Structure 1
Amino acid sequence: MQAPDTITIALVDDHKLFRKGMVELINGFTGYHILWEANNGKELIEKFTSDKLPSIVLLDITMPEMDGYETALWLKRHHPQVKVLALSMYDHEESIIRMLKSGASGYILKDADPADLKTALTDVVRKGFYYSDLVSGTLIQNMHKENTHKELAKLNERELEFLKLVCSELTYKEIADIMCVATRTVDGYREALFEKLHIKSRTGLVLYAIKHHIISVS
């Protein structure tokens, strides 16, 4: 019987032999279970009529009928609570950036060690994102580089201070104490950032800070 806290995963890849191996690998991880398998994005979408949804979609990029980019965008629009971990043979900068912009919470190569895959799955659930060495560093600095200075200019000094603090494990009350302001003032900073940056959650603020190199990913 599946434990109630088991992390469920939908695996989307058009190579059946590879998929079979991944199913055996992931089901062998303690606390993880493959809920669905699909050959492509179109087949995956057909499964989303179910009441039980996966925690993570492990998504290949290059697939027939509906590729990973289209599928990630569909999930972002229709099921934003479901995290996407991109799975690919390619380490091209363009592919990585495009998948992250399409809504993926991380990117891992198909030849990664099993331990790295487990770490990626765990990070996506616990932190809301997974950035390996492949994605961090230069890639993170390059993401949205055409908008970075313009968007950061929208934020005042106190909002930037709050943004850095919100990327920690501190509660909003603890952040208020550090900033020497009332909790309702911190709530105001949060709502202002949500509006200015078009973000709807604390996780979104963390991802924004990482993408714009406001905080370190190390």
Structure 2
Amino acid sequence: MLQPVSIAIVDDHAMLRKGLSNILGEEDDFSVVLEADNGRQFIEAIAHKNLQPEVVLLDVHMPEMDGYETALWIEQHLPLAKVLVLSMNDDEEMVIKMLRCGAKGYILKDADPPELFRAIRDISADGYHLSKLVTGKLLFTMNRSKDEPGNPIKLSAREKEFLGLCCSDLTYKEIADRMFVSARTIDGYRDSLFEKLEQKSRVGLVLYAIRHNYFRVR
């Protein structure tokens, strides 16, 4: 029998944390090994107990050390752990920032338990979780590049520059200013990449950029 997936829950809402722990504990293939109120507490517990959780359910807004800082720490110190973000907010900028920090999936806290279970199993087995925010077409594009390294999608130098800047906190208007072009030109780059990369949102472009090293998460 396979070992259950070891899970850490990092969220500053104690009742939610305990509820998640109880729900996950009812599944034979899950084992909650750590609960923490924030990133700082999580790091201290990891060091004290010498734990290596496979999946970290991570909130974004927490006191002392938030989800962004915690995700970056996990990427640097627990490279085998996979971060699944649990948030009340589906704001595109927040999704992008968490992906930049190394998160491999993003679901909302009002998701039904079966969706949460599926997300954990997906991220444990495949490395990513598909959701309303991360589409199947996106993952197909990412995996296609991995399977066919000799046939990358050809992008112009300016498209690559734009793609890298999409991973920043800049608005499209600010990207236009940074690239010294008009907003209409930026719209052209964006629409061209949507078509070439088969994406429909900036989140999709960011994931593609991270997967293909147009932007390195740091």
Match of residue 101 from structure 2: 102
Q: CA deviation at 1:94?
A: 0.7
By relative contact order (CA 8 Å, sep 6+), the higher-ranking structure is 2
Identical positions, percent: 43
Letter of the 2:42 partner, please give it.
Answer: L
Distance in 1 between residues matched to 2:42 and 2:12, nearest whole Å:
11
Q: CA deviation at 1:130?
A: 0.7
What TM-score, normalized by structure 2, do the two folds share?
0.63
Q: Which residues of 2 match residues 77-116 of structure 1 at below 5 A?
A: 77-116=76-115
Alignment of 1:164 onto 2:144? yes
Mark the CA change 1:165 to 1:31 in structure 2 (over 3 Å): closer, same or farther: same
Letter of the 2:46 partner, please give it.
Answer: F
Distance in 1 between residues matched to 2:21 and 2:54, nearest whole Å:
15
Match of residue 146 from structure 1: none
Distance in 2 between residues matched to 1:73 and 1:118, nearest whole Å:
24
Q: Deviations over 1:142-188 (max 9, x none)?
A: xxxxxxxxxxxxxxxxxxxxx62745xxxxxxx8xxxxxxxxxx8xx
Would the aligned equivalents of 2:99 and 2:207 in 1 still touch at CA under 8 Å? no
Match of residue 45 from structure 1: 43
Match of residue 11 from structure 2: 13
SS in 2 for 1:112: coil
Q: Deviations over 1:186-216 (max 9, x none)?
A: 8xx6xxxxxxxxxxxxxxxxxx999339xxx
Q: CA deviation at 1:134?
A: 2.3
Count how many residue pairs are aligned between Structure 1 and Structure 2. Answer: 154
4+ residue runs over 3 A deviation: none
Would the aligned equivalents of 1:12 and 1:59 in 2 still touch at CA under 8 Å? yes
Q: CA deviation at 1:28?
A: 1.1
Q: CA deviation at 1:33?
A: 1.1
Q: CA deviation at 1:59?
A: 0.3
SS in 2 for 1:84: strand
Q: CA deviation at 1:137?
A: 7.8
Distance in 2 between residues matched to 1:35 and 1:6, nearest whole Å:
11
Question: Structure 1 stretches of 5 or more lacking a match?
Answer: 142-162, 168-174, 176-185, 190-207, 214-218
> Of residues 20, 23, 28 in structure 2, which corresponds to 1:22?
20
Would the aligned equivalents of 1:12 and 1:37 in 2 still touch at CA under 8 Å? yes
SS in 2 for 1:117: helix
Distance in 1 between residues matched to 2:205 and 2:122, nearest whole Å:
17
What TM-score, normalized by structure 1, do the two folds share?
0.63
Would the aligned equivalents of 1:23 and 1:34 in 2 still touch at CA under 8 Å? yes
Match of residue 212 from structure 1: 208
Match of residue 214 from structure 2: none
Letter of the 1:67 partner, please give it.
Answer: D
SS in 1 for 2:27: coil
